Amino acid sequence: MNIRSRFSLRPIVNTSGTMTGLGASIARPEVIEAIAAILPQFVEIDDLQRCACAAIAAACGSEAGYITASASAGITLSIAATMTGDDLGLIERLPDSASLKHEVVVQTGHLVNYGAPLDQAIRLCGARAIAVGAATEAHGYQLAGAINSRTTAALFVVSHHTQQYGMIPLEEFIAIAHAKGVPVIVDAASEYDLKGFIAAGADIALYSAHKFLGGPTAGIVAGSKALVRAAYFQNGGIGRGMKVGKEGIAGAIVALQTWAARDHQAVRRLERGYLTLWQERLNLFPGIRAQIDADPTGNPLERLKITVDRIAARITAWDLVDALARSKPGYAAVIARDHEAEQHFFFLDPCNLHPGEEQLVLERVVAELEHARTAPQPIATPFSGRDAGRTAARRRWPD
Ligand SMILES: *Cc1c(COP(=O)(O)O)cnc(C)c1O
């Protein structure tokens, strides 16, 4: 039984990456097996989290670790840990942070929105973000100057969402914070490098279990034993509302345990094949330039960057993306990666395709480009208003 038709959901093909709004990623078979096996059983959660602690330590090279609801929860709870330590009374007092250190230094160019504002994940525990530097430029002296007796943590974000140049490099960021006795938390939610941030000296590194790892929705908190323990104890406080169940913990453990043994080269070869297939065909269209593009933060993955000359292609990049996403008889609805569509390009991300879907994607893009080529008028809606239209559509939920 197709689960989508059971819930009256339209079929979609995900070429946008690991998006929460689309169900994140394809869970690995061994993850699904572990989740199914644990769901009917009682377990002692502290012991299951001890098992997670060992799995995270092995995978991330950290002293300790635990599983929480999401990387976003991990941000809030690890900052809370720096504020309260393992004092259970203080943990119950949050988010009232009076008398506690509560400032978190973070570069302005790192204050992203990953579905919710990063700044809000900081505020949730009673802390507040102290922005360091300007949007496109930050300096070590600014970070040093922002740290004072109220500073509880320094937060560093590794992501394609952040400003990609002019920022303080991680090593320098850690050195400055540590020189002032401030722990460093690295939000590496989407980064394949499980060991590098801890190895570089981060006190906590955070990952999403449901992204590249192909685990269930959960967050992985790796770090020093004292901070991980203090973060885990937040489950008796503000962490309660960010609870992860046994299925999330078990699935994340298995995703971590099997990560190293996966054939990463084979995955890359497969994805390279999809990209080349799309690239060769799409480059035959006037006004379309398709290039294989490496991930900006160095993750071992590539995407097809499709640049659209709106005059020659007779369609804008955003109209093409919107057309692909609509249902059309005989074709798959394709959700593309379009954060930068106003700059006349978008991406097709191959990392979440089921076998055969690469053909459906190609057929649909070809169909839309053919349609644009022969349409009586060029397809060119103004970009301004597109976001407002999407916001209005979102606000109509649930109807
Ligand atoms: C995805 C992402 C998050 C949020 O992760 P969740 O586990 O979905 O909460 C936070 N930060 C960055 C950089 C991300 O890419």
pLDDT at 233: 98
Q: Tell me if 159 CB under 6 Å of ligand 1.
A: yes
Ligand 1, atom nearest to 18 Cα: 1
Of 113, 74, 67, nearest to 216 by C-alpha is 67
Cα(75) to ligand 1 centroid in Å equals: 9
C-alpha distances (whole Å) from 291 to each of 46, 198, 294, 306, 334 are: 48, 34, 10, 7, 19
**Strands ordered across the beta sheet of 128-132:** 64-68, 219-223, 204-208, 184-187, 151-157, 103-107, 128-132
Architecture of domain 263-395: Alpha-Beta Complex (3.90)
Mean pLDDT, the chain, as a whole number? 97
Q: What CATH number belongs to 28-259? A: 3.40.640.10
Question: Is the distance from the beta carbon of residue 18 to the nearest atom of ligand 1 less than 6 Å?
Answer: no
Q: Which atom of ligand 1 is nearest to the CA of 218?
A: 7
Give the pLDDT score at 1: 65
| Domain segments of the chain as ranges | 28-259, 263-395
Is residue 70 lining ligand 1, measured as CB closer than 6 Å? yes
Write the pLDDT tens digit of every residue in 362-396.
999 999 999 999 999 999 999 999 999 999 999 99
How many angstroms is it from 328 CA to the middle of ligand 1?
32
Q: How confident is the model at residue 126 (pLDDT cuts 50, 70, 90)?
A: very high
Residue 203 confidence (pLDDT): 98
**What are the tokens at 301?**
């993955």
pLDDT-derived band at 221, boundaries 50, 70, 90:
very high
Q: Is 81 in the pocket of ligand 1 (CB under 6 A)?
A: no
| Token pair recorded at residue 314 | 């007779």
Q: Average pLDDT in the 49-71 region?
A: 98
Q: Which residues pair with 315 in a beta bridge?
A: 379
DSSP bridge partners of 348: 304
The alpha carbon of 342 is separated from its chain's Cα centroid by a whole number of angstroms, namely 22
| Spacing, Cα 241 to ligand 1 middle (Å) | 18
Determine the distance separating the centroid of ligand 1 and the alpha carbon of 135, expressed in angstroms: 20
Q: What is the pLDDT of residue 278?
A: 98
The strand ranges marked E within 40-197 are 64-68, 103-107, 128-132, 151-157, 184-187
Nearest by Cα to 10 from 346, 329, 320, 351 = 329
Distance from Cα 295 to the centre of ligand 1, integer Å = 16
Shortest-distance atom of ligand 1 to CA 24? 8
Which residue lies with its CA nearest to atom 5 of ligand 1?
A: 71
